[in-house]
Amino acid sequence: MPLPLIPWPRRVTPGPGSALQLAARTRDEAIDRARSAIRHADDPTIPREGYALRVDADGIAVRSSDAAGAAYAAATLAQLVECDDTGSWVIRAVEIEDAPRFPYRGAMLDVARHFHPVPTVAWFIDRLAELKLNHLHLHLTDDQGWRIALRSRPDLVARGSATATGGDAGGFYTQDDWQAILAHAAACHVTVVPEIDLPGHTHAVGLAHPELMAPPVVSDEVRETTRRLGGSLPEPGVPYTGLAVGFSSLRPLDAEVDAFLVDVLGELCAITPGPFVHIGGDEALGTAPEDYAALTARAARIVADAGKTPIAWHEAASAPLPDDAIGQYWGFLVPTDGHDAKAHAFADRGGLILSPADAVYLDMKYDERTPIGLTWAYGPTSIERSYRWEPDDVVPGLPARAIRGVEAPLWTETVRDRQDIERLVFPRIASAAEIAWSTARDPERTWPAYRARLAELVSRWEDDGIRVGAIVPTS
């Protein structure tokens, strides 16, 4: 039986000796004993976040050049713990050399459509780290709510955080909450990427600052979405709890709007230690092109002047951005509507993070029977479809050097609580983790091989109480 490892390591060699015996009664106890038995040595020749691991009957040896690599070796060890034919907990003798394919390996949690409290975010971070994902993108603001307290603009949460999609209760993170999230992420070697979505997706801003907003653009598409999915049409000054997009916008850049951007983005940069701040830029359908370019460019410049690298959804390619700005591609595996050209615009800037919606959007249903989730990205996304894609093939002609990594977003229009997160994230998050970490040429990087390893991981998740949303197919 192959080793049940996800993501698959760069090089795996079965050891010549006997398995390491772990005197333990449960898997968790065996994992603790394994980790406490690690003999670690610093090795500057190991790539960043990489590690070398050797297990035999005499013990466990790990080499790495940084703390993240050592942590990922421990994560691999946890997956290697198994019960043998005698009922004993063991780790088979093995030698592993490993390092990631991409530096950016992430997931996104939308806390704007539905708010998710600090314990849920911390639990989510733990799950990402177990799969060697190293970035958590938090979508903090949208039409339905503003979720982070800022001292410069306290009215944003006082007036813009009370509700959520469907009329559910809202919420927000205090500054102490934010620091708790950041500290937990840092301990797990996860970088938090906060997003303030601009200049569209800003209806909640208008609840606190109506003077900054353009009138809602209620298009036929907005009306049709409302008719089909329920809710009410957007009205100035009234909390929005529906599912339509593209109707809201900041008004054209002027002194008041500029002061708002400086306050909000400047403070967010100041309280966030990571190198990235996401400025959104998607679906600003109610913003005139020249206003969109000016607003997006100004937001990006404020972030850059604060010493951070701006990230924006790929539509922002039409704006004059800093040279190091990173794009995030959310189009399809086969680009449509000129999205590939916009993605190419970031090749000579800071590069591109790939989030093809019909492969890694975790909010898509698995099949038509899935009780929550959406289907707009070419229908449901099966586990197999979430795995059968290759980053180099998504945007034709995009140089491989321009791909920074992969991110799997979870939008939360239908995701109310942690149980809903579990159902949609697991097991498809493992597909994104392997694609972001593992080389495409390895024989284990095939659907049949992955499927067998995933089945074992799903069994362990279920033992840990995670309610997995779909059964791994056997063929």
Contacts of 421 (CB under 8 A, 6+ apart): 109, 116, 120, 124, 410, 415
What superfamily would CATH give domain 104-463?
Glycosidases (3.20.20.80)
> Average pLDDT of the chain?
97
Element (H, E) at 108: strand 104-110
CA distance 372 to 423: 9
Residue 16 identity (one-letter amino acid): P
Written as six digits, the tokens of 37 are 């038995």
Greatest Cα-to-Cα distance within the chain, rounded to the nearest angstrom: 73
Contacts of 86 (CB under 8 A, 6+ apart): none
Average pLDDT over every residue of 148-162 = 98
**Domain layout of the chain by residue ranges:** 11-98, 104-463
The strand pair at 104-110 and 276-280 is best described as: unpaired
Residues 193-219 as b or e (16 or more Cβ within 10 Å = b): bbbbbbbbbbbbbbbbbeebbbebeee
Q: Position of tokens 């975790």?
A: 362
Q: Do domains 11-98 and 104-463 have the same CATH topology?
A: no
Alpha helices by DSSP H, listed for 11-98, are 27-36, 67-80
Helix (H/G/I), strand (E/B), else coil: 181: helix
Name 229's bridge partners. Answer: none
Q: What is the pLDDT of residues 356-406, one digit of tens each?
A: 999 999 999 999 999 999 999 999 999 999 999 999 999 999 999 999 999
Written as six digits, the tokens of 300 are 């990006």
Written as six digits, the tokens of 291 are 């206003």
Select the CATH number that applies to the domain covering 11-98 from these four: 3.40.50.300, 1.10.3720.10, 3.30.379.10, 3.40.1350.10: 3.30.379.10
Average pLDDT over every residue of 8-25 = 94
Strand order, beta sheet including 82-83: 20-22, 89-91, 82-83
CA distance 177 to 191: 16
Written as six digits, the tokens of 229 are 């999915």
Q: What is the pLDDT of residues 273-323, one digit of tens each?
A: 999 999 999 999 999 999 999 999 999 999 999 999 999 999 999 999 999
Q: Is 283 a catalytic residue?
A: yes
Q: What is the pLDDT of residue 408?
A: 99
pLDDT for residue 1 is more than 80? no
Q: What is the pLDDT of residue 475?
A: 85
Cβ(315)–Cβ(342) below 8 Å: yes
Cβ(232)–Cβ(226) below 8 Å: yes
Element (H, E) at 432: helix 428-437
Average pLDDT over every residue of 163-178 = 98
Of the candidates 283, 320, 330, which has an alpha carbon nearest to the alpha carbon of residue 299? 320
Q: What is the pLDDT of residues 423-459, one digit of tens each?
A: 999 999 999 999 999 999 899 999 999 999 999 999 9
Average pLDDT over every residue of 213-221 = 96
Number of C-beta neighbours around residue 338 at 10 A: 10
CA 266: distance to chain centroid? 23
Q: What is the pLDDT of residue 17?
A: 86
CA distance 447 to 388: 7
Residue 414 identity (one-letter amino acid): T
Which of 97, 211, 283, 422 is labelled catalytic?
283
Q: What is the pLDDT of residue 2?
A: 75
